[in-house]
Structure formats: structure tokens, C-alpha cells
Amino acid sequence: MFDDLKGRAVLVTGASTGIGAAVARGFGRAGARVAVHYRRSADAAEAVADAVSDAGGEAILVKGDVTDRADVKRIVEETVRAFGGLDVLINNAGDIVFRKKLEETSDDEIDFVIDLNARAVVSMCLAALPHLRKSKGNIITTTSVAARQSGGPGTGIYTAAKGFAQSLTRFLARDLAPDGVRVNAVAPGFILTPLQDRNSTDEQKAQMTKLIPLGRAGLPEDLVGSYLFLASDRLAGWITGATIDVNGGQYLS
């Protein structure tokens, strides 16, 4: 089904754990060449790269901080140097970081959440665009069901940043269409990942699961097909500016 992804150069940010790791492995199974980006989790990233290779793809490890513009440029350059170009950018790195009432949140904390979840998407797109224009490639950004709803308790800045990323997706889709570059997004619902382990109590997880009509929390693997579909020119070549909601019906609550 995804034969046209074979050999394509894909950069997945935040690929050492969670959704990013599952997506990187999925592209590996499709025979893609995958740049597995990570910031701190070197061992986990190496395991993902090994899984990509074992599945029939090709993988490199790229370390860097997506909130640092110089690092972002280097991440893209290392990917292009290794693969000879770039076909697909997956903007997946992000985090809730903390749960706090807005009035209890410091300026530095606000800046960091916005830098990680919004500004980093802009920086990565800017660095990748010259290469994506050459390949007529595409961008897929991980947003969140929070961008459609009001977000969970204490996540106002994260929710707003994800809303920014979703709006940027629509703008870039229209702006880059004449260049043949497609831009889409995937909006996960409540997914069992290390991000939730860091930022949600067991009680909060149980409450969020109760809101899901399909009756269970999502797993990272539940997201993979959406990314592969959007990346495929054969299957999604006339889709741009779209957001695929993968949330078990959570957004209906």
C-alpha cells in the first residue's frame, strides 16, 4: 500500500519515544530512510533506529534541541547530507511540560512551552523548505485534540501552542501549494506515551479515558497509518491543509 514511500528520506523529530518512535518504525516498515531525531534519550533513539533497519528501512540518529535555531538547521543539514535530500518532514517533537494554572506560570515557563510546541515547528519548516521544494515533498505536524477543545487542566499554554501549529499547517498548505509541497497535520487524542506518564496522574488518565467513545486510550501505533497515508503521494497526493483526528471519538465529548 505504501510502496511509494520506499527509499524516501524522512525526518521525524522527537522520534526516540512515544508517537514519534512508532511513526519512525512505521516508515521503516515502508522501506523509507529515516532520520531518528532525539534530544536526550540516546539509548531509546538507537533502539528505534535499529528497529527501522531491521524492518527493511535505513536509519540515522540525529541529536539536537528543536528550540535552538542553530541546532534545527544542523538537524536538517545532517539528514540531507546522509540521504542526499529530504522528502518528508514530521514535526512531532513537543510536550505538555507541566500542568499549572496560568497565573502560577512564569514567563520563562511560558516561553519554553511555546518555543517547543510552536516556534520549533516554524524553525524546522524554514530549515527544511529549500529541500522540500526540490523534492516536492511534504510536511506533517503533530498537533492535538487540545487544539480543537480547551485542553486538560493546567495545559492552557500547550493547548494554545498546538492551536498555533494547526493554524500554521493551513497557512503553509496554501502558501506552498504552488511549489508542490503538501502540508498536513495529525491531531492525536489521549495516547498512552511517556509524555502522559510525566504530566498526568493515574486519576487524570482514567478521567480522560472515560471521555473516549471507543472505550480505551490510544496507543502510539494507532497513529502510524495516518502519517504514512498523508506522506504517500499515491494515496494523499491531492490532500493538503488537512488535519486527521485520531482520538477514538474523544473530540465528540
* pLDDT tens column, 31-44: 999 999 999 999 99
- Report yes or no: 183 and 88 within 8 Å, Cβ to Cβ: no
Q: Residue 197: what pLDDT?
A: 76
How crowded is residue 174: how many other Cβ atoms within 10 Å of its Cβ? 11
Question: Which one of 38, 158, 227, 251 is the catalytic residue?
Answer: 158
**Domains of the chain listed by start with CATH number:** 3-244 (3.40.50.720)
* pLDDT averages per 10-residue partition of the chain, 253 residues: 96 97 98 97 97 98 98 98 98 92 95 97 98 98 89 87 96 98 96 79 84 93 98 98 94 79
CA atoms within 13 Å, Cβ hemisphere of 228 = 22
- Report yes or no: 82 and 10 within 8 Å, Cβ to Cβ: no
Q: 97-100: long-range contacts at Cβ-Cβ below 8 A with a sequence spacing of 24 or more?
A: 97/158, 97/199, 98/154, 98/199, 99/152, 99/153, 99/154, 99/155, 99/199, 99/200, 100/154
Report the alpha-carbon distance of residue 53 to residue 58 in Å, rounded: 5
Q: Is residue 227 flagged as an active site residue?
A: no
